Structure 1
Amino acid sequence: MDNFEEAESVEEPGQEQEQLVVTEEIRSYIYETAKWTKFLSVVGLVVAVFLALMAFSANAIIDGLALAAPGNALVQMGTAFLTVYFLCLSLMLFYPSFLLFKYSNAATTAVLYADQENFTIAMKKMKSLFKFWGIITIIILSLYIFSFLMMIVAKTGGAA
């Protein structure tokens, strides 16, 4: 058998490999951003917990509404709808808040200790956060367009 050796990549003198340089100014921006994202993530996590608690107290909320306003549309929908609604809201707030928290911790560690691995993790969490909100935005815009088209169909169908 032939003896194969791994070829090393050799840079030619005219070619330089592009590198991203993180200056002290950029590090200070990342560190300050990490502080704010930690604050926002903690607030988001607390609100998500309160929404989850509201989901599990939907029965009490509906009973209170039934006494105060018996004809309220929320009372007619029932506790199951309210529970699912608040749980969905809670999960939709929990996930991005959790990503922000993970970003904040990784970014802080990366900046303080010049840790490339944590910097990569921080950027990965930031990418995931924006991807999540991008998908949610696409879904909401699609629902708006669908609702608008259904409204047009309903109006033209009713006029005939």
Structure 2
Amino acid sequence: MENNSAFDSFELQLTNESKSFLREAGKWANFLGILGFIGLGFMVIGAFSIMAMGSAFGSMGGGAGAFGAIGSTFLGVIYLLMVLLYFFPVLYLYRFGSRVKKAFANNDTAMLTSSLENLKSHYKFVGILAIIMLSFYALAILIAIIGGLAS
């Protein structure tokens, strides 16, 4: 026995106003995606600059120089890991923006579906990242409270 609700045969249609909103959202997402890639490029340059400065200071000699080189290399690697982490939401946002523009330019439903899939992936990634960060904050607060009580 099948349970067919009224929503099973419901077909969603986009009004001209909702199409306009999606077009504009796509333009902004494309713009923000491009800015995100530029920002990631600057972060990569910054990471390699930090590592290069550390090794330059490390080659000067002295006791702190070697630690500075190791510390700056570690900091540069952390920066590169942040680039890798931020790459995916920027990529999803850019794909949403570019594909929604193509979908409306070519009246392509499959492309619109693909663009919305990338928007979903963007928000899912950012949401999971927010949960992870909130968990780290809660853990840090808990450790600080326990450390405060212990001292």
Above 0.5 in TM-score? yes
Q: Is the 8 A contact 1:99 1:125 kept in 2?
A: yes
Q: Give the match for residue 29 of structure 1.
A: 21
SS at match of 2:14: coil
Q: Give the match for residue 94 of structure 2.
A: 101
Change (3 A) 1:152 1:56: same
Q: Is the 8 A contact 1:109 1:118 kept in 2?
A: yes
RMSD of aligned alpha carbons:
2.7
Residue 16 of structure 1: how far off its partner (Å): 7.3
Answer with 1 or 2: which has the greater Rg.
1
**Higher relative helix content:** 2
Is 1:41 the counterpart of 2:33? The answer is yes
Aligned sequence identity (%):
28
Is 1:143 the counterpart of 2:136? The answer is yes
Q: Give the match for residue 45 of structure 2.
A: 53
Q: Is the 8 A contact 2:23 2:101 kept in 1?
A: yes
Residue 64 of structure 1: how far off its partner (Å): 7.7
Q: Give the match for residue 88 of structure 1.
A: 81
The alignment's TM-score, normalised by the length of structure 2, stands at 0.81
Q: Is the 8 A contact 1:55 1:83 kept in 2?
A: yes
The alignment's TM-score, normalised by the length of structure 1, stands at 0.77
Q: Is the 8 A contact 2:92 2:121 kept in 1?
A: yes
Change (3 A) 1:30 1:65: farther
Q: Which runs of 5+ in 2 are unaligned?
A: none
Q: Is the 8 A contact 1:48 1:89 kept in 2?
A: no
Q: Is the 8 A contact 1:30 1:111 kept in 2?
A: no
Change (3 A) 1:16 1:157: closer
Q: Is the 8 A contact 1:103 1:125 kept in 2?
A: yes
Q: Distance in 1 between matches of 2:124 and 2:87?
A: 15
Residue 96 of structure 1: how far off its partner (Å): 1.2
1:61-81 CA distance string (max 9 Å, x none): 3368889xxx9xx94861221
Q: Distance in 1 between matches of 2:104 and 2:9?
A: 24
SS at match of 1:57: helix
